[in-house]
Amino acid sequence: MTDSPKPFHIVFLLFDGITQLDFTGPAQVLCRIPGAVVHTAAKEIKPIQTDSGFAILPSTGFTDCPQADLLCVPGGFGTRDVIQDEATLQFMRDQAAAARYVTSVCTGSLALGAAGLLEGRRATSHWAYTGLLEKFGATHEKARVVKDGNIITAGGVTSGIDFALTVVAEIAGQQWAESIQLSLEYDPHPPFDSGHPDVADPDLLAALLDRVYEKAAGDLADIIDRP
């Protein structure tokens, strides 16, 4: 009889204003690690409002959350509140201290930075916010997934699926990761070639920056720079 795999505890930090795909994308992959046990942790056990018009109910509060083997911090516009909340930052520090992997998706890397977990590390974030990483002593590396020791940061939103497959391959082998990729039919062929500033139409990029990201990144910079 084959022994059951040892439990592998995966903790996702949830907070109001989270970008749900930052969480649900990697969760869909990581939950298939042999022995995976997924926990969704929030400061309060109440419906967490996502950026997509629906809420997620966390499974645990900070105090009762098991120790993570893998901690994942998603991003979203709610990151601005996370980086100002000492209880949430301390939860990340406490979990990171014994976690095998400390990970983030999108602007979740800024939350890791605010918790003091990126000092001297290479990291990435959503393309509109990578310039803020240096404020936390990190060096931006231009890649969808950046691994520096046990710290793994993913770029914007969909990059979370890539990071998750990378971790699965390291834990359970490339063939297992490939089987997950196949089962999810993760074979992207986007209808438009506009998924990164390097390839997007310059006018489209300028308009998006003006409409959303220049103000959002500026607001975050102001919060980070406060004494």
Q: Looking at the annotation, which residues are catalytic?
A: 106
Q: Which amino acid is at 160?
A: G
CB 137 within 8 A of CB 120: yes
- State how far the Cα of 106 lies from the Cα of 82, in Å rounded to an integer: 14
CB 94 within 8 A of CB 143: no
- Cα 77 to Cα 50, 108, 209, 225: the distances in Å are 10, 10, 15, 18
Q: Which amino acid is at 218?
A: G
- Given CA atoms 122, 160, 83, 128 in this order, what sign does their dihedral have? positive
Angle 217-223-227 (CA atoms, 0-180°, nearest 5)?
145
